[in-house]
Amino acid sequence: MSQSSQQKLLALATVAIIALLGLSAFLIYTKVNQDKLIKSQNSELIEETRLKADLEKEYYKALSDLEEMRSNNSELNAMIETQKTELKAQKDKIATMITTAKDLQKAREEIARLRIFVTEVENLKKQNAALRDTNSLLLNQRQELSIQVEQGKATNEELATSRNALATEKEQLQKDKEALAHKVNIASSVKVSDISASGYFVKGSGKEKDSNKAKSIDGVKICFKTKENVVAEKGKEKFYIRLINPLGEVMAIQDLGSGNLQLTNTGESIQFTQFVELDYANEVMSGCINWQPGTAFETGTYQIEIYNKGFQSGKASFTLK
């Protein structure tokens, strides 16, 4: 081969080698860029997957916390439904950022906000639990108070019943006491007998002379005798004498010792003419009054009634002509 041919072949070989070196450099450059791109895409894919997982985790955690807050309170349950709707909208927005827009940084920021929302929900859940505990405590206290009130009512009713029973018993005892006292008073009342009455006039000498003529007498003397009564206590006993004229009028003048006495049986107040006080010793005793009213006497029959302890002890009558 001629020298000229050899030179041509050498030139061609040189060009070919240079071309191969250029191609190799291009291929190496391309492969490096492809590796970088693949690595970057793999990193983004990994980050996208991680963000999606974080999004799902935070979303379902928030849903779970919201559901745990449900109660019999319709207003609270309505608020929970509203929060769930807003939470779903936020999740879809973040998912779009991750999948379509590939705005991973913005997605990270939104997920961070979602975590804050979840934290707030957890705090609300704790507050709700504390509120439930407080409500439960208040309910228990109210139930205890209600029981105490009912027990108080029952106690008050028992006390009222006992008080009424005691009042009834006391009233009955008082009635029994009064009845017994009435019987004792009746039993201790001193009866009288031998009631006598005579008119008299006063002579010029001052001596009294008996007379039954109404127009001529100055006064009437009434006497009686007590009967024995072992039930009556020894001591002072008053005997009230009523002198009733033929017109049915009680002869009474306050300045001469007249007054009023109360009948034990009826409580009625009646006038008496005069009274005699005796130092009674459970034996027969005599008592008298002199009734000298300073006025003329009527003709006719006069009634005499004698009382002791509010009971009638005896009665009699006499006539003046």
pLDDT per residue as tens digits for the range 37-81: 444 445 565 666 777 777 677 777 777 777 777 777 777 777 778
Give pLDDT, residue 111: 67
Give this prediction's pTM.
Answer: 0.48
Side chain identity at residue 114, one-letter code: L
Nearest to 239 by CA among 184, 205, 286: 286
Domains of the chain: 3-132 (no CATH), 190-320 (2.60.40.10)
| pLDDT average, residue stretch 17-35 | 57
- DSSP-derived 3-state class of residue 304: strand
Q: Is the pLDDT of residue 27 over 60?
A: no
Query: Which residues are 30's β-sheet partners?
Result: none
- DSSP-derived 3-state class of residue 256: helix
- DSSP-derived 3-state class of residue 229: coil
Give pLDDT, residue 210: 92
Q: Which two tokens stand for residue 221?
A: 């003397």
Q: Is the pLDDT of residue 175 over 90?
A: no
What percent of the chain lies above the pLDDT cut of 90?
35
Residue with tokens 């006992």: 162
Q: Is the pLDDT of residue 252 over 60?
A: yes
Q: Higher model confidence: residue 320 or residue 150?
A: 320
Between helices 104-188 and 3-68, what is the axis angle to 10°?
Answer: 10
DSSP output for 190-223: PPEEEEEEEEEEE-TTS-EEE---TTT-SEEEEE
Q: Is the pLDDT of residue 241 over 80?
A: yes
pLDDT digits 0-9 by tens, 279-290: 998 899 999 999
Residue with tokens 């009474």: 252
DSSP output for 130-144: HHHHHHHHHHHHHHH
Q: How far apart are CA 112 and CA 230, in angstroms?
A: 114
Nearest to 190 by CA among 152, 218, 231, 162: 231
Q: How far apart are CA 146 and CA 156, in angstroms?
A: 15
Taking the alpha carbons at both ends of the chain, their separation in whole angstroms is: 215
Side chain identity at residue 271, one-letter code: Q
CB 124 within 8 A of CB 70: no
Q: How far apart are CA 49 and CA 58, in angstroms?
A: 14
Mean pLDDT of the residues in the chain? 79
Give pLDDT, residue 149: 74
Residue with tokens 């009512």: 153
CB 276 within 8 A of CB 288: yes
Torsion-angle region of residue 248: left (phi > 0), alpha (psi -120 to 50) or beta? left
Torsion-angle region of residue 282: left (phi > 0), alpha (psi -120 to 50) or beta? left
CB 68 within 8 A of CB 84: no
CB 232 within 8 A of CB 283: no
Q: Higher model confidence: residue 170 or residue 125?
A: 170
